[in-house]
Amino acid sequence: MRKKLVVILVLLMISAAYAATRSLVPRADGEGGLGTSSKNWLEAYIDTIFTDVVTFTDNNASPDAVGELIYDNTVAGIDDGWFCWYDDDEIKYLVDTNTLPTDSEDDYHLAYDKDTDKLYWKADADSGGATAWDNITNPDANDEIDFGSYVIELNVANFQIGDGGANYVDFDGTPTVTFAGNADIDLPENSVDLADLAAAAYAKDLVTTAPITGAADNIFVGADSDVTVALTLLKDIVTTAPITGGEDDVLPGADADLTIAITLAKDLVTTAPLTGGTDNIFPGADADITVAIPVATTDANGYLDQDDWDTFNGKMAGTLLKDLVTTAPITGGTDNIFPGADADITVALTLLKDLVTTAPVTGAADDIFPGADADITVALDFTAAWDFSGATLTMPSRTANDDRYFAFNAWNPNALYDTDTQICIEPNLPAAITITEVTITCDADPTTELDWDLKWADAFIGLGNAALIVAIDTTSGTTNISSGFDDATVVAGKCIYVEFGADPDSNIKQAMVKIKYDYD
């Protein structure tokens, strides 16, 4: 690439014919030149140059002579090229930009853009000479900011201090502080200003659920809301006989059973002449508690064996003045039946055990059983209680071996079918029942089995809202059903009936039907 250097050269020529050096002038303005693109002057020493245009040759070179100025087109990191010169120690580069600042651009400086490989004008302040928060980089050493006595306010709608993730303390400008994630605040001792607390808004309420008490309104700092303190009661107390009083959901904790039981395995054993031994009446592991009176011998007191009666009867000597005194409930006191001076021999029974009853059992009394002070409780353990209020009788749950039955014999089922296709068993139930079993036995194994359905309805007249209890068709002349019921529970006030599905075999003369149930 050819660059033209147009200059005005002053040549110093020594001429004996002239008193001073003359100028080298072209014939017309803008004409002529010194050298060509292929033939260049090696050097020119000039004190002052006045020119309109200076064109530098496009070079892939670096200056290496003192004061040498070159346009280097291969400067690393710079687009196109750069003017550089050598100052005898190092190469230096002239700063330039492709845009000029305007009058409105105050406090700007030149910055380098690595993406465009150019310099550009960049504002050195965002507003009032302060750097914007998003332009502040992370610190790389410990330091501090001394605000002195100035009041500094962070006026923001949302300011967070945290770990850059989900754990932070948020200040929303209202001002309200929110703790997110596992963020919290640890206050050192004596760091809370009681005056500030006194001026704070106490609008949060303490709400408690049973069995916790002590709820109060407006006792916590903050907007009106509820702080609820609750105790989850899911553990059950389960008791085994003879202990009663079990109850669900009375202890804190997850749903589980806390069983209170007493093992009655110790036996009361008596030896003659005592009687009344009983098994499993005392608490504890299986063992015997023996009550005995030894036979009297010459070395030990005891009872008189019947074989010794003839020996001792009528042989007692001395005056019989001692009295046998008894206290209730022992009777039979008698005077003057023991030898010796007049005195009382008292036979008493210590009655400290109490009879305790629970409703509906009555008759409790204190100190009526022998033994140390304790309670003997008599209770009836019903799964459902009798209710005599309001002239309404509620049946209790069925007890063991208290089965009830509907039973009837269908004579000549073929003729019954011709008369009516339904047979009423119960027109109006007095209480709710659950049917548990149905058995049918015919007098013959018919060619065509009985096609029967056991049903209930609102009333036998009209059979309103009829519902199937269970299909009771026979197989080989019999039926035995104890499961698979469609609807085994029948409420009070309903009727129960059997319905034919088809004309019975004429060979069947009778069919015995037995329906087992219990009261709900």
Task: Say how far apart CA 142 and CA 165 lie, in whole Å.
Answer: 23
pLDDT at 471: 95
Residue with tokens 């050195």: 124
Residue 416, SS3?
helix
Task: Say how far apart CA 116 and CA 111 lie, in whole Å.
Answer: 12
Beta strand 510-519 pairing with 320-326: unpaired
| pLDDT tens string 94-118 | 787 777 776 666 667 777 777 877 7
pLDDT at 237: 85
pLDDT at 382: 55
CATH number of 402-519: 2.60.120
Task: Say how far apart CA 511 and CA 449 lie, in whole Å.
Answer: 11
Pair 518, 399: CB distance under 8 Å: no
Task: Say how far apart CA 48 and CA 480 lie, in whole Å.
Answer: 135
Compute the C-alpha angle 148/150/152, nearest 5°: 115
**Token digits for 516?**
């087992």
pLDDT at 443: 93
pLDDT at 241: 76
For the four alpha carbons of 400, 406, 411 and 413, in that order, the dihedral sign comes to: negative
In 3D space, the residue among 459, 452, 451 whose CA is nearest the CA of residue 496 turns out to be 459
In 3D space, the residue among 403, 364, 401, 359 whose CA is nearest the CA of residue 381 turns out to be 359
Pair 88, 66: CB distance under 8 Å: yes
Q: Which residues of the chain have pLDDT under 50?
A: 1-18, 127-128, 384-385, 398-400
For the four alpha carbons of 417, 421, 427 and 431, in that order, the dihedral sign comes to: positive
- Report how many helices (DSSP H) and strands (DSSP E) the chain contains, helices first: 3, 31
Pair 219, 201: CB distance under 8 Å: no
> Which letter does DSSP use for residue 69 in this model?
E
Q: Strand (E) positions, 246-362?
A: 247-260, 264-270, 278-282, 284-291, 320-326, 334-339, 343-347, 351-357
Q: Break the chain into its structural domains and give their ranges.
A: 58-93, 102-133, 402-519
Residue 107, SS3?
coil
In 3D space, the residue among 508, 494, 505, 506 whose CA is nearest the CA of residue 424 turns out to be 494
Residue with tokens 């064109």: 55
Task: Say how far apart CA 494 and CA 430 lie, in whole Å.
Answer: 9
Residue 391, SS3?
helix
> Which letter does DSSP use for residue 173 in this model?
S
| Largest pairwise CA distance in the chain | 199
Beta strand 91-93 pairing with 108-113: unpaired
**Token digits for 233?**
């009661």
Task: Say how far apart CA 433 and CA 489 lie, in whole Å.
Answer: 6
Task: Say how far apart CA 434 and CA 443 lie, in whole Å.
Answer: 28
**Token digits for 255?**
């749903």
Residues in the chain: 520
Task: Say how far apart CA 272 and CA 284 lie, in whole Å.
Answer: 25
> Which letter does DSSP use for residue 307 in this model?
G
Task: Say how far apart CA 422 and CA 368 lie, in whole Å.
Answer: 62
pLDDT at 17: 45
From first CA to last CA, the distance across the chain in angstroms is 115
pLDDT at 197: 60
